Structure 1
Amino acid sequence: MHAVHIRDLDLNLLVVFDALQRERSVTRAAAEVGLSQGAMSHALNRLRAFFEDPLFVKTSSGMAPTAKAELIGGTIGQIMTALQQNVVSQARFDPSTARRSFVLCMTDMGELVFLPPLIKRLRKAAPHCTLRSMQIPLEEIEATLAAGEADLALGSMHVAPESLFQQQLFLHTFVTMVSVRNKAVGKTIKKAQFESMPHIVVSLTGRASEAYDRAFDDYGIKRNIYLTTPHFLAVPHLIDAHPELIANVPLELGNVFAKLGTVRIVPPPIPLPPFALRQHWHPRFHDDPANIWLRQIIKETFDRYPNLPDATD
């Protein structure tokens, strides 16, 4: 058979061959692939013409394969299995049976905010799937998503790459976090106190956020920035060790840290603008069924945030 001869083969006929090979009956094979018995017989005739062989012949025990049918049957069976497992299965995503690991780009703050309710939801909807989080520099997120090394990036990227799709999940506001041992600050913090006390600023880039700076500048407030760190988790421990320090953090994170009993939150002296938490994904995976499902479940999970049920319920 010449290589160009493959163009004459209707690949749907492989489905017919595979069914006949397993059922050894035109009637049963026709029922399996959803054809009438007449259409099945016509398909078998086309197979015979292509392979120039009877392929299956009537016997007292059913349709028996010829020597050529047995020769090519194993290969066709492997082709059908590979198509089913590696191609057809990718056309849909069944979370109840899927076995895969979803990878999310997020900060340590994102882990505290996103993971508890998300784990609860995924363990019920996709019991055989797992989660992995990774923290990477902002400039590497686009390439990481494009390469399929991560499914989504969750967080507040003030300057997200234009090539990425994005969807807003919710808005978060900011509070000022102080030590419970700092008696100089009452239920509110005065402007003079806010300006004089040393601040901890969290920035993934190592620089104070321009958006935050602009908000303070608009009100004529100058921060006394003592420490800039890329790690939110370090902030409450540093404030506990050094009660003179303060920090501005998202409300949701402040509530988590306040449960530690070492810090408390107060409203800042000025109304800081809210920031949007979004999920971002690469166009390569915009129509991927598993990615679509993951985006939908994350959107549904955080649609009412922060008014979510306790993740331990």
Structure 2
Amino acid sequence: MNLLVAFDALLRERNVSRAAEHLGLTQSAMSHALRRLRQFYEDPLFVRIGDSMKPTPFAEEMASSVLEIMSAVQRNLMAQSNFNPLTSTRVFSLCMTDMGELVFLPRLIEELQQVAPNCRLRTSQLPAENILNALERGEIDLAIGSHYIQESSLFQQELFRHSFSSIVSRCFEQDQMDVETFLSMKHISVVLSDKSTRYDQFIEDLGLRRDIYLTTPHFITIPMILEKNPGLIATVPTELGKTFERYSAVKVINTPVPSPALHLRQYWHPRYHHESGNIWLRQLMKQVFDRFMS
């Protein structure tokens, strides 16, 4: 059973050091477990490619069975194991956009350091189509996002509702903008992956045509682009615009077209619905966002 736990951690982390950290083991202990697994199954199981350990075809065949066993263990044998945030050294992994990191991550870190001082965070950005598998494999604990996550099999909870605002260079002279001016400018639009819709897709949905000069997967570069290019404009979630404005990076103006609310949610896999650490993290996220909204 201990070897299957090690195998499961290697499947998730694809790295011996990170798998050891996840299980609270030394790197040498994890390497020893991998050697025993290789001897038992007479297969390399994981092959180093660059900085990652890629599973062999035999390991990939084993993966679904091991994940099923580990899920049953978590569900049936460890159901009574309570997560203690004051003593835990767990590394929580979150999938979020650079917008989430900029606007909400500082508040989460502040809260986490107070209530779980020995826990750590790891963030990542994944294409929307990869999020389900990453949650199922335990590579991430929660995914934080909006409409770009569309998986009916995942549990979800609303955390926050965004409105939209537009941002322009600080040298832009007007504080308000009419629709004609808005549509005459060159636009920056964020698309998080090839298969996602634009964050500001509602503009086209209104039947309006605009000149999209730049499509980018990143929010955080927009202020630097606007600073050097005052003829450009971007429409982003209002809280992000306010964050940029606090750093004197841009000017926030009202978007002169009707904009819908953007629902920010946290998503998790059914495998971890009853896992005590995941439950605690979800509750913490909700508390942090509830205070943010108040």
Q: TM-score, normalised by structure 2?
A: 0.70
Task: Write the mapping of 1:190-269 to structure 2, written as runs, cut at 5 A.
Answer: 190-206=178-194, 209=197, 212-218=200-206, 220-269=207-256
- Supply the AA of the counterpart residue of 1:100: R
2:176 to 158, 173, 188: 188
1:285 matched residue in structure 2: 272
Amino acid at match of 1:243: P
Whether contact under 8 Å (1:206, 1:230) holds in the other structure is no
- Give the secondary structure class of the aligned counterpart of 2:267: strand
Residue 209 of structure 1: how far off its partner (Å): 2.8
1:174 pairs with 147, 164, 178, which one?
Answer: 164
Letter aligned with residue 223 of structure 1: R
What does residue range 11-160 of structure 1 map to in structure 2 within 5 Å? Answer: 91-160=81-150
Deviations 1:177-209 (A, max 9, x none): 0111122xx121111111110000011124783
Greater gyration radius: 1
- Inter-partner Cα distance in structure 2 for 1:301 and 1:217: 33
Corresponding residue SS for 2:123: strand
Identity of aligned residues (%): 46
Counterpart-to-counterpart distance in 1, 2:252 and 2:275 = 42
Amino acid at match of 2:98: D
In the alignment, is the contact (CA less than 8 A) between 2:187 and 2:234 conserved in 1? yes
Q: Deviation per CA, 1:6-40, whole angstroms, max 9, x where unpaired?
A: xxxxxxxxxxxxxxxxxxxxxxxxxxxxxxxxxxx
Once the two structures are TM-superposed, the CA of residue 222 in structure 1 deviates from its matched residue by 1.4
User: Which consecutive residues of structure 2, in runs of 5 or more, have no partner in the other structure?
Assistant: 1-76
Q: Which amino acid aligns with 2:249?
A: T
Change in CA separation of 1:208 and 1:97 when aligned onto 2, cut-off 3 Å: closer
Note the alpha carbon deviations across 1:18-66, whole angstroms, 9 max, x for none.
xxxxxxxxxxxxxxxxxxxxxxxxxxxxxxxxxxxxxxxxxxxxxxxxx
**1:273 and 2:273 are equivalent in the alignment:** no
> Tell me, what secondary structure is at the counterpart of 1:249?
strand
CA contact (8 A) 2:165 2:241 kept: yes
Q: Displacement of 1:212 after TM fit?
A: 3.7
Partner residue of 1:298 out of 282, 285, 288: 285
> Cα RMSD over matched residues?
2.0
Mapped to 2, the partners of 1:161 and 1:89 lie a distance apart of 26
Could you say if the C-alpha distance between residues 306 and 236 of structure 1 is closer, same or farther in structure 2, counting changes exceeding 3 Å?
Answer: farther
Any idea what SS the aligned residue of 2:290 has? coil
Task: Read off the aligned partner of 2:262 and give its amino acid letter.
Answer: F
Query: How far 1:213 sits from its partner (Å)?
Result: 3.1
Name the structure 1 match of 2:7: none
Scaled by the length of structure 1, the TM-score of the pair is 0.66
Instruction: Map Cα deviations across residues 224-269 of structure 1 (whole Å, 9 max, x no partner).
Output: 1000000101100000011111000111100111122231100011
Alignment partners' CA distance in 1, 2:195 and 2:212: 11
Q: CA deviation at 1:170?
A: 1.0
Contact 2:95 2:124 in 1 (8 A): yes
Unaligned runs of 5+ in 1: 1-86, 308-313
Query: Conserved in 2, the CA contact under 8 Å of 1:206 and 1:229?
Result: no
